[in-house]
Amino acid sequence: MEEELLMIPGPVPVLPRIREAMTKPMIFHRGDEFGAMYEEIVETLKDIYQTRNDLFVLSGSGTCAMEAAIGNLVSNETKLVCITIANGKFGERFGEIAVRYKADAVTPVNVNVNFEWGHSIELEAVKEALENSSSSDPKSKIVTMVHNETSTGILNPAKEVGKLARKHDAVFVLDCITSIGGDKVPVDELGADIAIVGSQKCLGAPPGLSALSVSEHAWEMIRENERRPYYMDLIAYKKSLEKKQTPYTPALPLFFALHEALAVIREEGMENRIERHRGMAKTVRDAVTGLGLRLFPKLNEVSDYSNTVTAIEIPIADGSITDEQLRGGMRKRGVIVAGGQGKLKGKIFRIATMGNITEREVMKTIQVLEEVLVGNEFIKK
């Protein structure tokens, strides 16, 4: 049987050479060989991030790193306001996590700046939230945002929100899980104090690892928090990194694979890689609109279409095709695309163009999509 083509926003298909790297025998996780590999991974990721901040790799998914960010900064003991900006599922996840760490019935310490899923973030509302949520301590705000909102295919204004956060001396947490490695994300220039990436997205590695960078501004807040999570304790990660180790046993085969995936990225070059990602996303957008479908995101002057995942409306209003007909039809032809999540289930579908996917796979996806649309008489031939 032919392999299925995964065109979902992670896990992405993984090149054979990267999968082969996982067959290496286990090594002593406190030895020099691991140390050298971990250091090289960290340094390469810092280059990709364009950051001078500390950076760590966690043995856990992107959600693990999102919780690491919130949990290390926030606790009921710390006097801070957590402002979560959201226009999709993953933006809202930050808000859900914040409630677990800091829920106070008396003072509203969690401020959600929510926009309709698929709509753009409006800077005016962010500005207002920052101005109105003043606290006794001026260094007491954190702002979270998802850079590339995978649930809706929108690229959020990291630079602009970063500027606003800096103006209010807030710690800016940016989820770049599905942008770093595929799009331009100059972390320090964007003013992201904590920036997160997942292994199984644009980096082209298998799922199971995530990384995050931490600025001095974020450390100041983290050091004040004695109720940090344990497995994700960033201070423990920092101490261990000095010995080129992780605080708890690392998921070795995934480190071998990430190391190889980063070698692939170095060989391609980040400029070329970003160009390729942008090209593939544009191909998808052009093709689907050419087929008579509509893109889901509602853009404004500071937002853009995602360069790594395209969200497309299922033309249910026309009664012409259902989610099951569309995605089920594509699946039968060997191509897996993603559905809508949560309240968007059945309303949109999503084609990811992440990692080491090429134009060839993109063309196959488009061709299969067209076949299904023709088969369901959405397009008359």
Q: What is the Cα 129 distance to its own chain's centre?
A: 24
99 or 299: CB nearest its own copies: 99
126 or 145: CB nearest its own copies: 145
CA angle 12, 18, 21 (to 5 degrees): 140
Minimum CB separation of residue 230 from its own copies in Å reads 5
Q: Pick out residues in 159-218 that bind its own copies (CB under 8 A).
A: 198, 200, 206-209
Residues 16-35: x/- map of binding to its own copies (CB under 8 A)?
Answer: x--xx-xxxxxxxx-x----
Q: Is there a contact between 62 and 210 (Cβ–Cβ < 8 Å)?
A: yes
Residues 63-102: x/- map of binding to its own copies (CB under 8 A)?
Answer: xx-xx---x----x-------------------xx--xx-
Q: Rounded to whole angstroms, how far apart are CA atoms 179 and 277? A: 10
295 binds its own copies (CB under 8 A): no
Query: Considering only 38-46, 62-70, 163-171, 300-308, which stretch makes contact with its own copies by CB under 8 A?
Result: 62-70
Give the list of residues 6+ apart from residue 370 with CB closer than 8 angstroms, or none: 291, 379
Q: Rounded to whole angstroms, how far apart are CA atoms 129 and 164? A: 11
Amino acid at 89: K
Q: Which of 228, 273, 276, 277 binds its own copies (CB under 8 A)?
A: 228
Q: Which of 157, 182, 250, 297 binds its own copies (CB under 8 A)?
A: 250
User: If binding means CB under 8 A, how many residues of this protein chain bind its own copies?
Assistant: 58
Q: Rounded to whole angstroms, how far apart are CA atoms 126 and 132? A: 10
The radius of gyration of the chain from alpha carbons, rounded to an integer in Å, stands at 21
178 or 306: CB nearest its own copies: 178
Q: Is there a contact between 229 and 211 (Cβ–Cβ < 8 Å)?
A: no
224 binds its own copies (CB under 8 A): no
11 binds its own copies (CB under 8 A): yes
15 or 379: CB nearest its own copies: 15
Minimum CB separation of residue 379 from its own copies in Å reads 26
Q: Which of 230, 318, 380, 381 binds its own copies (CB under 8 A)?
A: 230
User: For the chain, what is the total number of helices (H) and then of strands (E)?
Assistant: 14, 14
Query: Considering only 58-66, 122-130, 159-167, 273-281, which stretch makes contact with its own copies by CB under 8 A?
Result: 58-66
Instruction: List the end-to-end C-alpha distance of the chain, in Å, as a whole number.
Output: 30
160 or 224: CB nearest its own copies: 224
Residue corresponding to tokens 């974020």: 218
Q: Is there a contact between 190 and 341 (Cβ–Cβ < 8 Å)?
A: no
Q: Rounded to whole angstroms, how far apart are CA atoms 371 and 379? A: 9
Cβ burial, residue 49 (10 Å; 0-12/13-18/19+): buried
Q: List residues near its own copies by CB under 8 A.
A: 3-4, 6, 8, 10-14, 16, 19-20, 22-29, 31, 59-64, 66-67, 71, 76, 96-97, 100-101, 103, 198, 200, 206-209, 226-232, 248-254, 257, 336
